[in-house]
Structure 1
Amino acid sequence: MRRETQNILLLLFGGALLKIALTGTYLRYVKASLLPWLVAAGVVMVVLAALAIARDVRGDRVAGEHGTRSPWLLALPVFAIFLVAPPALGSDSVTRDSITAPAEPAESRFPPLPPGEPLLPVSEFVTRAVWDSTGELNGRTVHLRGFVVHPQPGVTRLARMRISCCAADASPVVVNLEHPRVADLPEDTWLEVTGELRPGSATDENDYVPTFAPTELRPIEAPKDQYEY
């Protein structure tokens, strides 16, 4: 690979990395705590590419030579990288990936639920529904936020994707929605639902997917950070 090509590719990747980091679209791919590392990596790549290009240009002027300019055409794809960004993982990923039971927490004692009607992460709701032997969720009204998935006819679920580091290790966390209106909702519709757990609904037969009975369904905008951790 020619030096010009290497420099252009380095500039392209560094610029793309900075673009997704500084515009917030990085949250579609990695967790929020990795932002400083992304910015630092992007800056280093751009600076190294700029220094290499400047050195090559000075070298050409001193030698009085004019190298081929065709590698610079590789700069054109940068526009595609800057303008096109894949969305966060959604219903297609939930349908494609298998649902696994949440692992038992290292500490089986759950802290008390906040007073009132708390907004819970879907992953916490599912983990409590499966492992909290105190039954603290039973009879409690809570709020959940997620997107709609129809894995099969007659079944509607509220889902979130949970990641440890990045979208590559994402796994779906889901609850069944028990409400007559949910069957007509388009997939990937974001909702805030208010309601209660159906006690005993998470069993080995249904892969420990609990049932949530909403009393209220409210469409919402997709959050900036669509993953749970």
Structure 2
Amino acid sequence: MRRETQNILLVLLGGALLKISLTGGYLRYVKPSLQPWLIVAGLVMVALAAFAIVRDIRAGRAVDEHEHGTRSPWMLLLPVLAIFLIAPPALGSDSVTRDRAAAAPAAPSQARFPPLPPGQAPVLSMSEFLTRVVWDDSGALNHRDVRLRGFVVHPTPETTQLVRMRISCCAADATPVKVDLASPRAEELPADTWVEITARLRPGTATEANDYVPTVDPLAITTIPAPPDTYEF
């Protein structure tokens, strides 16, 4: 492949990386703390391409190379086109129902959980809620309404779940955090609908046999827009 083509591809790849880093699109693929590294990587790629272009212009020459092997470098354009034209969405219900095991909550680092936030129905992340369900033996959740946010999944015709994807680094290691919704209204919601629920735990429903997926009774269900960052960490 000609040197000019290599430089153009490098500019496009670096520009695509900068685009998703600065517009927030990177949140579909990696955790927020990686944004500075993505920006640096994009700037380095663009700078290297600019340096090579200036060097070739000053040298006043173009490098001719054989035509064989020119197809594989052009494959680098595919991720660029995907980002600019058809950027993949964040993981949703399809990822949950396609052979993704539930995220087993790890033991908390502290011996006791802090008190629940004040208010009649405090907002908890799905991860915190599930961790408390499995590890908090104080029963603090047994008679307490909480608010949870996530998207709707119908893994079977008889089951409706509220789910949030949790990642450690990027979407490739995502695992779902799930709760079963005991509500006829929830069954009518389309998959991938984002909702906030006010719900109460059914004690003893999260067991090893069901992969520690608790059941809650929703008292209120409100549809909400998908958040800018759909993952938990």
Superposition map of 1:106-117 within 5 A = 106-116=109-119, 117=121
Residue 54 (structure 1) aligns with: 54
Residue 17 (structure 1) aligns with: 17
SS at match of 2:90: coil
For the structure 1 residues 80 and 28, does the alpha-carbon distance in structure 2 shift closer, same or farther, using more than 3 Å as the test? closer
Residue 88 (structure 1) aligns with: 90
SS at match of 1:181: helix
Residue 122 (structure 1) aligns with: 126
Pick aligned residue for 1:149 from 145, 149, 153: 153
Which amino acid is 2:118 matched to? Answer: P
Which amino acid is 1:31 matched to? Answer: K
Structure 2: any 5+ residue segments left out of the alignment?
A: none
SS at match of 1:149: strand
Q: Distance in 2 between matches of 1:151 and 1:80?
A: 29
For the structure 1 residues 15 and 139, does the alpha-carbon distance in structure 2 shift closer, same or farther, using more than 3 Å as the test? same
For the structure 1 residues 42 and 66, does the alpha-carbon distance in structure 2 shift closer, same or farther, using more than 3 Å as the test? closer
For the structure 1 residues 36 and 221, does the alpha-carbon distance in structure 2 shift closer, same or farther, using more than 3 Å as the test? same
Q: Distance in 2 between matches of 1:50 and 1:22?
A: 20
SS at match of 2:184: coil
For the structure 1 residues 159 and 42, does the alpha-carbon distance in structure 2 shift closer, same or farther, using more than 3 Å as the test? same
Deviations 1:144-181 (A, max 9, x none): 00000011111000000001111111111000001111
Superposition map of 1:188-199 within 5 A = 188-199=192-203
For the structure 1 residues 80 and 204, does the alpha-carbon distance in structure 2 shift closer, same or farther, using more than 3 Å as the test? closer
Task: Tell me, yes or no, if the aligned pair for 1:108 and 1:132 is still in contact at 8 Å.
Answer: no
Residue 102 (structure 2) aligns with: 99
Aligned-pair CA distance for 1:35: 1.1
Worse-matched range after superposition: 15-24 or 32-41? 32-41
Superposition map of 1:58-77 within 5 A = 58-60=58-60, 63=61
Runs of 4+ in 1 over 4 A off after TM superposition: 65-68, 73-80
Residue 30 (structure 2) aligns with: 30
Give the TM-score normalised by the residue count of structure 1. 0.90
Q: Distance in 1 between matches of 2:24 and 2:130?
A: 28
Aligned-pair CA distance for 1:25: 0.6
Aligned-pair CA distance for 1:67: 5.5
Give the TM-score normalised by the residue count of structure 2. 0.89
Pick aligned residue for 1:135 from 130, 134, 139: 139
Aligned-pair CA distance for 1:47: 1.1
Structure 1: any 5+ residue segments left out of the alignment?
A: none
Which amino acid is 1:113 matched to? Answer: L
Task: Tell me, yes or no, if the aligned pair for 2:145 and 2:200 is still in contact at 8 Å.
Answer: yes
Task: Tell me, yes or no, if the aligned pair for 1:162 and 1:173 is still in contact at 8 Å.
Answer: yes
Aligned-pair CA distance for 1:184: 1.3
Task: Tell me, yes or no, if the aligned pair for 1:108 and 1:131 is still in contact at 8 Å.
Answer: no
